[in-house]
Structure 1
Amino acid sequence: MTYRMMAGAAALVTAAALAATVPVAAQAAPAAATPCGASAMVKETLPNGTTWQMCWRINDKAGLVLDHVFVATKRYPTPVQVLDSIRLAQLNVPYDNGDTEYNDLTAIGMGGYDMETLTGDDCKGGSIRVGSDGSGEPEQRKVLCVSAEPRGLAYRLHEQEWDDTTDQPKDTIYSQQGHDLVLRTISKLGWYEYVTEYRLHDDGQISARLGATGDLAPNEYSVASNGWPIGKGAKDYATMHYHNAFWRVDFNIAGKGGEQVEQYDTTTDGRGSMTAKLKTSRTAIAKEGTFTKVNQRWWRLVSPTSKNADGHARSYEIVTTGGDKYEGHPETKPDVTFSQKDPCEKWASDNASDPECPLDIQTVVDFVKNKQKLTDPVAWVRVGFHHVPRDEDQSPMPMHWQGFELVPRDFTEMNPLTPDGRTGVNGNQYPQD
């Protein structure tokens, strides 16, 4: 990767062509109080009746930022807030030869003049929104793609009952396809092209992803010990490198705020009559800190005041889906960092200095060193990808993705996509004698 040289034609991102079969409707749930004008608002209803509403903007460094994110479903039509904001917080790219490293967001930026104007198949089947590229210039460009895309089977249930009328078994099949509201932008940083993408599922889940495409940087070639042979023979070795992506996630569940952080761990606890017994324990995380994923560990941010209709506290679970851990920096080792919200803490590394802010808070590790009490937590989620180049990366480079999921846990008392025939199934329908 180099920022002095620009590649030729690069791969274009293709959204599913669904204009006829998966319309992004404009009707549905009542409007939520979203503090932005029409040009900065996305409010769309998916085929299953779920409506997502949010504000969007382009930051010169972070690129696409989503603010004030609300969700409503056909079954639960009142909009409920999920997030105050979500955005990228850094993209650290160190090369395996130890001689090259970039902090792409703070050194270059995903917005501004490095944000691409969408064209061609960049937003096929969706609609392109016009807005500022974050550079501060008044020019408006086609920078945001909004589309509805199928996500596969949302659920399937084969229900078998005995029909007393016919004295025969009766089969009912419940099966439905799911859909996502997808927002994406493209930024060109040297030879690489990055796709910032948020997929908002019709069941309330949110997927945050960063895609990389474009080209391998021709000036970043080295030797066999830290490169991979590209081209004929064993002459050109494309240098292996990391993509350490960080996201900043600020929840505001039901607009109440003050979420509490909980960690869950499952361990073996003896044996039952047939197999091992497992015990899941909860640890309240009351103070700032860095945390690492281990087997059968997960985290959630839970509202202390907002509950679903069953009386259970609403929450969202952070699901990290693997990824490579870069051991070269302290800040790239934790999978999740929880810090008390602070306007001076903007970037996960190479934190921008501000005359009114302390100079010693440069990484997420610095953010939590004082172990402040968490009353308004911010989650910093890191997902690494070790890019070992291959012949197929030429050219254009196929898209590779890294990211994580935000999964609703007790946000509603039932599946928000529950079909009419299953609305009464809440809790144990067949209690034991």
Structure 2
Amino acid sequence: MTYRTLAGAAALLTATVLAVTAPVAAQAAPAAAATPCGASAMVKETLPNGTTWQMCWRINDKAGLVLDHVFVATKRYPQPVQVLDSIRLAQLNVPYDTGDTEYNDLTAIGMGGYGLETLTGDDCKGGSIRLGSDGGGDPTQRKVLCVSAEPRGLAYRLHSYEWDEGTEESKETVYSQQGHDLVLRTISKLGWYEYVTEYRLHDDGQITARLGATGDLAPSEYSTSSNGWPIGKAARDYATMHYHNAFWRVDFNIAGKGGEKVEQYDTTLNGRGSMTAKLNTKKTAIAKEGTFSKVNQRWWRMVSPTSKNADGHNRSYEIVTTGGDKYEGHPETKPDITFSQKNGCEKWASDNASDPECPLNIQTVVDFVKNKETLTDPVAWVRVGFHHVPRDEDQSPMPMHWQGFELVPRDFTEMNPLTPAALAGANGNTSGNTSGN
């Protein structure tokens, strides 16, 4: 079946939702968000659970797909609230283990321009294709953006037991719901590799940014057993191992107010309780620019100092970095995340293009933060590495492998935005025991 698009918005698509088990209940359309782009550059779609995402999209000749002015509204909270000012790739650094080959794919080749592929075949099966230019100056409109709604599995499940005073019996209710994502993706061909830039906007407000790599192994990049893996007959051809160091630039604008604060949380052992170890979680305010790395039980969030949810808690988004290989060959590829003060000259995480009006000494994210500016308008540069050790199964074509991270709402709403109506009052400790659970 297909899911509803919002009436009155121009150029909206109808994408196919797979495996939807029940029709969407009728509801009033959420108010429009203030997005400064025309209808052809806007995506505004409502998922089966009633969540509406709205944003502008464009193609940059180097970064490829860029999302601007990203808003979310849900069935429970129909007023659109801004999450991001923009999100895009900021570099793809590919050094080979021989030490003789290295690429900065975005600045040297580009995910847009001639590298941007025209979608065809199964590239957008079940979705809808948008026309757009390649960002490289060619005004020709091509099929470049796939927009689709895709099941993401079980959104929640709760087996509830409640006492019914009328029957004096325990009443059992199972609350269970499938979730869906609004997915935007483009494909770029850079040499032998083909890259899928993908943003998955979940119906609970979460955003997943990821880069998929497919295509083929480069036939010119074969070496020896010391830094390659045997591909083909016997032990004759060794496909060289290499890294994919992907960077994203994330600029928040929570509730359109900006001025987010960066906070780091670390959890450590703190003695023992009566049964097990006690843990203590400490918040550290990051007031100045810097580079940071993931350690056990450490995470970061971008929090609005002014915008609050209905419980009076400051809205924020947590930056969740998952497993990734750290490349030690460059200073800029070592940090997992860098927070810098917003600066128009700081465009690319490495090989930052020189501009006649910009300083020449800001070539990497490490350079961006050397002067330790106070963070009043922070930008997050997120790095996720992947060490590609080729295998026989990589030919041919190469199976897709992914690397990325997640932006998870934290106190953005006072309850799960997908909470069923029957549980609308289950906010806080409802057991009557105010001492905690």
Match of 1:211 in 2: 212
Q: Distance in 2 between matches of 1:19 and 1:78?
A: 27
Match of 1:275 in 2: 276
For residue 349 of structure 1, what is the amino acid of its counterpart?
A: S
For residue 320 of structure 1, what is the amino acid of its counterpart?
A: T
Contact in 1 for aligned 2:19/2:151 (Cα 8 Å): no
Match of 2:335 in 1: 334
In the TM superposition, what whole-angstrom CA distance separates every residue of 1:324-348 from its partner, at most 9, and x where no partner exists?
A: 0000000000000000000000000
Q: Distance in 1 between matches of 2:19 and 2:214?
A: 28
Q: Give identity over the alignment, percent.
A: 86
Shift of residue 17, structure 1, vs aligned partner: 6.5
In the TM superposition, what whole-angstrom CA distance separates every residue of 1:177-208 from its partner, at most 9, and x where no partner exists?
A: 00000000000001000000000000000000
Contact in 2 for aligned 1:258/1:303 (Cα 8 Å): yes
In the TM superposition, what whole-angstrom CA distance separates every residue of 1:49-102 from its partner, at most 9, and x where no partner exists?
A: 000000000000000000000000000000000000000000000000111000
Report SS of the residue matched to 1:150: strand
Report SS of the residue matched to 1:39: helix
Match of 1:198 in 2: 199
For residue 129 of structure 1, what is the amino acid of its counterpart?
A: R
Shift of residue 20, structure 1, vs aligned partner: 8.2
Q: Distance in 2 between matches of 1:127 and 1:359?
A: 43
Contact in 2 for aligned 1:194/1:211 (Cα 8 Å): yes
**Change over 3 Å in CA distance of 1:269–1:170 after alignment to 2:** same
Shift of residue 21, structure 1, vs aligned partner: 4.4
Shift of residue 163, structure 1, vs aligned partner: 2.3
Q: Distance in 2 between matches of 1:344 and 1:162?
A: 62
Match of 1:18 in 2: 17
Q: Distance in 2 between matches of 1:406 and 1:356?
A: 33
Alignment of structure 1 residues 257-336 onto 2, 5 Å:
257-336=258-337
Report SS of the residue matched to 2:114: helix
My pick for the range that moved more, 303-312 or 162-171, is: 162-171
Q: Distance in 2 between matches of 1:217 and 1:305?
A: 51
My pick for the range that moved more, 83-92 or 166-175, is: 166-175
Contact in 2 for aligned 1:19/1:126 (Cα 8 Å): no
Alignment of structure 1 residues 21-420 onto 2, 5 Å:
21=20, 28-420=29-421
Shift of residue 415, structure 1, vs aligned partner: 0.3
Report SS of the residue matched to 1:61: coil
Contact in 1 for aligned 2:156/2:177 (Cα 8 Å): yes
Q: Distance in 1 between matches of 2:40 and 2:116?
A: 18
Contact in 2 for aligned 1:28/1:49 (Cα 8 Å): no
Shift of residue 168, structure 1, vs aligned partner: 2.5
Report SS of the residue matched to 1:138: coil
My pick for the range that moved more, 44-53 or 155-164, is: 155-164
Report SS of the residue matched to 1:405: strand
Contact in 2 for aligned 1:66/1:85 (Cα 8 Å): yes
Count of aligned positions: 418
Contact in 2 for aligned 1:264/1:299 (Cα 8 Å): yes
Contact in 2 for aligned 1:314/1:409 (Cα 8 Å): yes
Shift of residue 19, structure 1, vs aligned partner: 6.3
Shift of residue 169, structure 1, vs aligned partner: 2.0
Q: Distance in 2 between matches of 1:261 and 1:428?
A: 29
Report SS of the residue matched to 1:139: coil
Structure 2 stretches of 5 or more lacking a match? 1-14
Contact in 2 for aligned 1:92/1:242 (Cα 8 Å): yes
Q: Distance in 2 between matches of 1:26 and 1:238?
A: 55
My pick for the range that moved more, 199-208 or 20-29, is: 20-29
For residue 261 of structure 1, what is the amino acid of its counterpart?
A: V
Shift of residue 18, structure 1, vs aligned partner: 3.3
Structure 1 stretches of 5 or more lacking a match? 1-15
Q: Distance in 1 between matches of 2:221 and 2:315?
A: 48
Q: Distance in 2 between matches of 1:309 and 1:45?
A: 23
Contact in 2 for aligned 1:26/1:45 (Cα 8 Å): no
Higher RCO (CA 8 Å, separation ≥ 6 residues): 1
Contact in 1 for aligned 2:18/2:150 (Cα 8 Å): no
When the two structures are superposed, what TM-score results if normalisation uses the length of structure 1? 0.94
Q: Distance in 1 between matches of 2:352 and 2:168?
A: 71
**Change over 3 Å in CA distance of 1:74–1:26 after alignment to 2:** closer
Match of 1:5 in 2: none
Q: Distance in 2 between matches of 1:34 and 1:174?
A: 35
Contact in 2 for aligned 1:156/1:176 (Cα 8 Å): yes
Shift of residue 289, structure 1, vs aligned partner: 0.1
In the TM superposition, what whole-angstrom CA distance separates every residue of 1:290-349 from its partner, at most 9, and x where no partner exists?
A: 000000000000001000000000000000001000000000000000000000000000
Q: Distance in 2 between matches of 1:180 and 1:90?
A: 25
When the two structures are superposed, what TM-score results if normalisation uses the length of structure 2? 0.94
**Change over 3 Å in CA distance of 1:53–1:26 after alignment to 2:** farther
Shift of residue 27, structure 1, vs aligned partner: 7.6
**Change over 3 Å in CA distance of 1:124–1:41 after alignment to 2:** same
Report SS of the residue matched to 1:142: strand
Q: Distance in 1 between matches of 2:209 and 2:102?
A: 24
Shift of residue 30, structure 1, vs aligned partner: 1.0
| TM superposition outliers: structure 1 runs of 4+ over 6 Å | 22-27
Match of 1:8 in 2: none
Report SS of the residue matched to 1:392: helix
Contact in 2 for aligned 1:312/1:410 (Cα 8 Å): yes
For residue 176 of structure 1, what is the amino acid of its counterpart?
A: Q
